[in-house]
Amino acid sequence: MKFFLVLVLAHIIADFIAQTHHMIQQKYLFSSPYFSKGILYHCIHHISISLILSILFLEWTFSTLLIIPLIGILHYFIDLAKIKTEKYLLTHQIKERYENQTWYHLFTQKKILFFIGDQLAHVVSIYLILLLFSSHVSNGEFIQLFTTEIYEKDVEMRYLMLSILFILATFPAAHLISILMSDVEGEKVEHEIAASLAPETKQKGQLKNQLEGLHTDLVITEAYKEDHYSFEVQYHQFYNTKENPRGRYIGMLERILIVVFVVSNLIQGLALIIAMKTLTRFKQFEDKRFAEYYLIGTLLSLLIGVILALMMKKIW
């Protein structure tokens, strides 16, 4: 059980805290059809963080040295599959943007589905690897996670679960809300082909290097098919994670305060948080669309913060 929580905590840190916007962009750059240095570096970070946390919380065994790299390898292929699926669906959405729009196309345009599916796949991969080495979480142990007995007996388990819940209230919650709000707004990610050159030439190589040096949301995708080589320049929004970093940090501070108030039985503090947020945006409420957008985001943040805070309070 403790090993499972350590690996989940390592995954959350690697995916949401240690992974920068630039690293996300690099994951979309492929030097061959199935190799991306960005994904590889991300998996190396994941393995390193898992090893560090294992040293802090676990007694090392030979199986530990096998389990963590195997999870890192699975992490690579899950991220690869996610990116390839996104590109495939995105290409077909662009072709059929103005015609033949069915419920299926609208369903696949929801970015929240990719996010939830990706995270579930990572957690399941951790469970399966532990199952392979007979270190998996049994049904009884899983149920115990929602009781206080296990945390009273094992202080390290309490710290691990509290750390997971607290971190979930910050960066992961901010990312989740950002994606949900993007889906609510109905924003579509643009996929613009700026160049498609073949075969490989010196001029093409120079152009590619210049574009890679822009450090923007331009992403170069290279294609290999037998003796034919080409590359495409695409534009991705990456869920607008860079456009308003102040708003993200305000939201994270808001949820941290919610956790503090709820755990301390100061429920009236929630009204103070709402009042402070409302005062800062008071003039903008004249715009009905903004007011609705703001209300949805605030309620989502409150809901996530309160749920996580109540879980932390039960463990505390």
Q: Are 78 and 121 in contact (CB under 8 A)?
A: yes
Judgement on whether residues 226 and 251 belong to the same structural domain of the protein: no
Average pLDDT of the chain, as a whole number? 80
Mean pLDDT over residues 199-211, rounded? 55
Judgement on whether residues 10 and 122 belong to the same structural domain of the protein: yes
Judgement on whether residues 112 and 225 belong to the same structural domain of the protein: no
Judgement on whether residues 179 and 291 belong to the same structural domain of the protein: yes
Position 149 scores a pLDDT of 78
Phi, psi for 30 (deg, rounded to 5): -120, 130
Judgement on whether residues 126 and 175 belong to the same structural domain of the protein: no
- C-alpha distances in Å from residue 293, one per residue of 64, 163, 185, 285, 313: 46, 30, 8, 10, 30
Residue 237 has pLDDT above 80, yes or no: no
281-293: b (≥16 Cβ within 10 Å) or e:
eeeeeeeeeeeee
Question: Is residue 196 assigned to a domain?
Answer: no
Question: Is residue 306 assigned to a domain?
Answer: yes
Nearby residues of 230 by Cβ (< 8 Å), 6 or more positions away: 196, 197, 198, 222, 223
- Angstrom distance (rounded) from CA 124 to CA 8: 10
Tokens linked to 311: 């879980």
Residue 226 has pLDDT above 70, yes or no: no
Judgement on whether residues 52 and 175 belong to the same structural domain of the protein: no
Judgement on whether residues 180 and 308 belong to the same structural domain of the protein: yes
Judgement on whether residues 120 and 262 belong to the same structural domain of the protein: no
Q: Token pair 């913060």 is at which residue?
A: 305
Tokens linked to 300: 């989502």
Position 241 scores a pLDDT of 41
Question: Is residue 174 assigned to a domain?
Answer: yes
Residue 194 has pLDDT above 50, yes or no: no
Question: Is residue 159 assigned to a domain?
Answer: no
Number of Cβ within 10 Å of residue 220's Cβ equals: 18
Q: Best-predicted range by mean pLDDT among 40-54, 211-225, 227-241?
A: 40-54
Position 85 scores a pLDDT of 87
The least confident of 26-30, 74-78, 118-122, 257-261 is 26-30
Residue 214 has pLDDT above 70, yes or no: no
Judgement on whether residues 14 and 67 belong to the same structural domain of the protein: yes
Q: Encode pLDDT of 68-85 as tens digits.
A: 999 999 999 999 999 988
How many independent structural domains does the chain possess?
3
Position 144 scores a pLDDT of 75
Q: Which domain holds residue 98?
A: 2-148
The least confident of 114-123, 170-179, 268-277 is 268-277
Judgement on whether residues 11 and 121 belong to the same structural domain of the protein: yes
Residue 307 has pLDDT above 60, yes or no: yes
pTM for the model stands at 0.78
Question: Is residue 153 assigned to a domain?
Answer: no
Question: Is residue 245 assigned to a domain?
Answer: yes
Judgement on whether residues 113 and 229 belong to the same structural domain of the protein: no
- C-alpha distances in Å from residue 134, one per residue of 1, 67, 73, 131, 230: 11, 11, 19, 5, 46
- Angstrom distance (rounded) from CA 300 to CA 295: 8
Position 117 scores a pLDDT of 92
Q: How confident is the model at residue 110 (pLDDT cuts 50, 70, 90)?
A: confident
- C-alpha distances in Å from residue 168, one per residue of 9, 198, 309: 10, 45, 11
Position 156 scores a pLDDT of 87
Question: What DSSP letter does each residue of 151-178 carry, written as one string?
Answer: HHH-HHHHHHHHHHHHHHTTHHHHHHHH
The least confident of 36-50, 63-77, 101-115 is 101-115
Question: Is residue 290 assigned to a domain?
Answer: yes
Question: Is residue 190 assigned to a domain?
Answer: no
Position 72 scores a pLDDT of 96
Q: Token pair 């196309």 is at which residue?
A: 105
Residue 268 has pLDDT above 80, yes or no: yes
The least confident of 36-45, 256-265, 269-278, 284-293 is 284-293
Q: Encode pLDDT of 135-174 as tens digits.
A: 767 777 777 777 777 888 888 889 999 999 999 999 999 9
- C-alpha distances in Å from residue 113, one per residue of 117, 218, 235: 6, 23, 21
Judgement on whether residues 222 and 258 belong to the same structural domain of the protein: no
